[in-house]
Structure 1
Amino acid sequence: MKTELISRVVATTLATALASIALAVPAEGATAAVSVRGGTHHASDSTALKAHVDTIMKTGTVGVVVRSTGPHGTRNATGGVADQATGDPARPGDRFRIASTTKTFVATVVLQLVAEGRLSLDDTVEHWLPGVVSGNGNDGSKITVRQLLQHTSGLFDYTADFPEFASKAGYQANRYATWTAEQLAATGMRHAPNFQPGTSWSYSNTNYILAGMIIKKITGHDWTQEVTARIIRPLGLHDTLAPTTDSRIPGRHLRGYSAFGEAGPEIDVTALNPSAGGAAGAMISTTADLSRFYQALLGGKLLRPA
């Protein structure tokens, strides 16, 4: 994973559709709203932000929250509803499942451990997790920690063979089930790798399940504890959570809907045991907290320049 340090003022724009990948038809007449805090903005800036929200809403998204933070202050924009049943509008401070943005938090912890000299990006997965990556042509001795973070390991994505994400019926039957990282990794190992390590690129959630396991092996603590202690608390991300098995999103939040690519109406997919995503996608946050996190990360407050 590579990032570049930007200038002292980091501009960040963050947006989310409900449940990140869940799309549904918005309530009729849904509109977008923009608010501005701090600094000076031209009217065209807010108009442009609202236009982006309107464009996303036209795809059939239920609700959108957007935050733009830059040298002239912060703008928030929203569109649609947070809950189809109640019709409550989406608001800037709503929590939501941040899905794979979780990976950035996990990668940051791994890189902090590298900076502390507790592991190397060139260490093999086998070194830290003996026997975990094996079978069906998988070989952890040929995969490095760097390749996990960069999605160049070739490992099969476990979510492509996972009942909870495959269908409405699968979700409804398994959404409250608790999964261990070992079980998720084993699902990936049921399949042959997509390519030999380091020879190509393919997005795989299995990579970050393994990264979370390595964090625990090194620190003795679950990745959720390390992310909380190293990032969430120091940065004061009061609306950010790294849950383990709690299926709820506490406080005011966006609800998610998905049809899983099937015919018929979308179903509410808000309630979910986050262990299904683990270190690859379990976290909950807000646009304000994510903006603060990325400003700290890209501004050099969480990692050394190297």
Structure 2
Amino acid sequence: MAQRIEEQLNAYEGVATGAIVLVRMGDQTRTFTSGMADVKHRRRMRPDDRFPVMSITKTMVATAVLQLVATRRLSLNDTVKDVVPGLLPQGHRITMRDLLSHRAGLYDPRDEDLPALSRMTDDSLIEVSADHPLEFRPGTSGSYSNVGYEVLGKVVEQVTGEPLGDAMEHNIFDPAGMSDTQLLGSPSVQGYYDSKAAPDPYVRFIPAAGGVVSTVGDVDRFYTALSRGDLLDEDLVATMTTPLGTIEPFNVDYGLGVWFDRESCGVAWGHSGAGPGFATKAWTLPDANLSVVVMVNDGDGHTIADGFATAALCD
């Protein structure tokens, strides 16, 4: 497997800007790097480089929500109105389960719906969404929703009484040993698109949906801790990793903060992430006790990242 990944990294040297691939087989871990973290300063990629992990954040936030369920401070059947009254006019119809599984029907704002960047806040997505009717009856369909996870961020803050970053640090990052991870932290790599430096990915406006900055090692520590029951008990991990239906536009099965990736060798669970200049993947193949984390600082890097993941899981 290591040889195959190294061959792929060599093949993509100079094609993708840079990549990091971590593979775990049981208790054995290897990390591979290729290319540039920063082209302008000619800095090569390092195993401990920090990336915006984008939507991998969602599994972490979902875990924080389910910890509140475990301590009976929250129920999956609680509605948004029950927990954060006044946040959404349709809040009485939308449950925590709907939000976690992208089945709430919330309108997800498009770029043209949002205010000018100078007036954007981390509440903007929710405020714009609240001005639109639901796109479908909650629980009846699936549609990928960043705004739904922004609502879950408000839920975590309301129930814990802490800012989201503090709640994530105390309940997720520290217990999992993620010492190089922060919500809205500073990346150490530059993202690229069409060989040019990509614009700011603006994750500060979607902290709960895509705002974590981390390393491949810390992302692996998170999923390992989650899988072995260090963050949630077995029953809740099983609930989280049970598909509840497909979500559009990706046409993939989704659980509670967990995306299912169909590989030739089986179904892996975890999450994929994307943003201007970045592609991230984190997949676990439970039957094989095998997992992979891939980070590529190239906006065209999704196919490349998928290739590394397949090589790690199935070769």
Matched, 1:144 2:95: yes
Question: Does the C-alpha gap of structure 1 residues 108 and 185 become closer, same or farther in structure 2, counting only changes over 3 Å?
Answer: same
1:292 CA displacement: 0.8
Runs of at least 5 residues in structure 1 that lack an aligned partner in the other structure:
1-44, 165-169, 260-264
Instruction: Indicate which of 201, 206, 209 corresponds to 1:277.
Output: 206
8 Å contact from structure 2 (residues 61, 153) kept in 1: yes
**TM-score normalised by the chain length of structure 1:** 0.70
Partner of 1:3: none
More strand per residue: 1 or 2? 2
How many Å separate the matches in 2 of 1:163 and 1:57? Answer: 38
* Equivalent residues in 2 for 1:203-282, closer than 5 Å: 203-243=144-184, 248-249=186-187, 253-258=188-193, 266-269=196-199, 271=200, 274-282=203-211
Residue matched to 1:291: 220
- Going from structure 1 to structure 2, the CA distance change for 1:205 and 1:57 (only over 3 Å counts) comes to farther
Contact 2:122 2:206 (8 Å CA) reproduced: no
Structure 1 residues 126 and 285: CA distance shift in structure 2, 3 A: same
Contact 1:258 1:266 in 2 (8 A): yes
| Aligned residue in 1 for 2:232 | 303
Match of 2:128 in 1: 187
Q: Which residue of 2 aligns with 1:39?
A: none
For residue 36 of structure 2, what is the aligned residue in structure 1? Answer: 81
Q: CA deviation at 1:180?
A: 3.2
The answer to whether residue 108 in structure 2 is matched with residue 153 in structure 1 is: no
Equivalent pair of 2:176/2:231 in contact (CA under 8 Å): no
The CA deviation at 1:214 is 0.7
For 1:201, the equivalent position in structure 2 comes to: 142
C-alpha change, 1:204 and 1:55, in structure 2 (3 Å) is: farther
Retained in 2: the 8 A contact 1:53–1:66?
no
Look up the match of 1:167: none
How many angstroms apart in 2 are the aligned matches of 1:49 and 1:72? 19
Cα deviation digits, residues 224-260 of structure 1 (max 9, x gap): 11110012122221111113xx7x43xxx2211247x
Task: Judge conservation of contact 2:37–2:44 (CA < 8 Å) in 1.
Answer: yes
* Distance verdict in 2 for CA 1:161–1:147, change over 3 Å: farther
Aligned to 1:47: 3
Contact kept in structure 1, 2:181 and 2:213, CA below 8 Å: yes
Structure 2 counterpart of 1:94, one-letter code: D
* Cα distance change on mapping 1:285 and 1:258 into 2, 3 Å: same
State TM-score, norm by structure 2. Answer: 0.68
Report the 3-state secondary structure (helix = DSSP H, G, I; strand = E; otherwise coil) of the residue aligned with 2:19: strand
Q: Give the superposition deviation at 1:198.
A: 0.8
Q: Distance in 2 between matches of 1:57 and 1:190?
A: 47
- Provide the aligned length of Structure 1 versus Structure 2: 235
Q: Which has the larger radius of gyration?
A: 1
Deviation at 1:300, TM superposition (A): 0.7
3-state SS, counterpart of residue 284 of structure 1 = strand
Give the deviation of 1:223 after TM superposition. 1.6
Whether the aligned pair in 2 keeps the contact of 1:180 and 1:275 (CA below 8 Å) is: yes
Contact 1:151–1:201, Cα closer than 8 Å, also in 2: yes
CA contact (8 A) 2:98 2:104 kept: yes
Deviation per residue, 1:194-223 (Å, 9 max, x gap): 322111111000111000101111111112
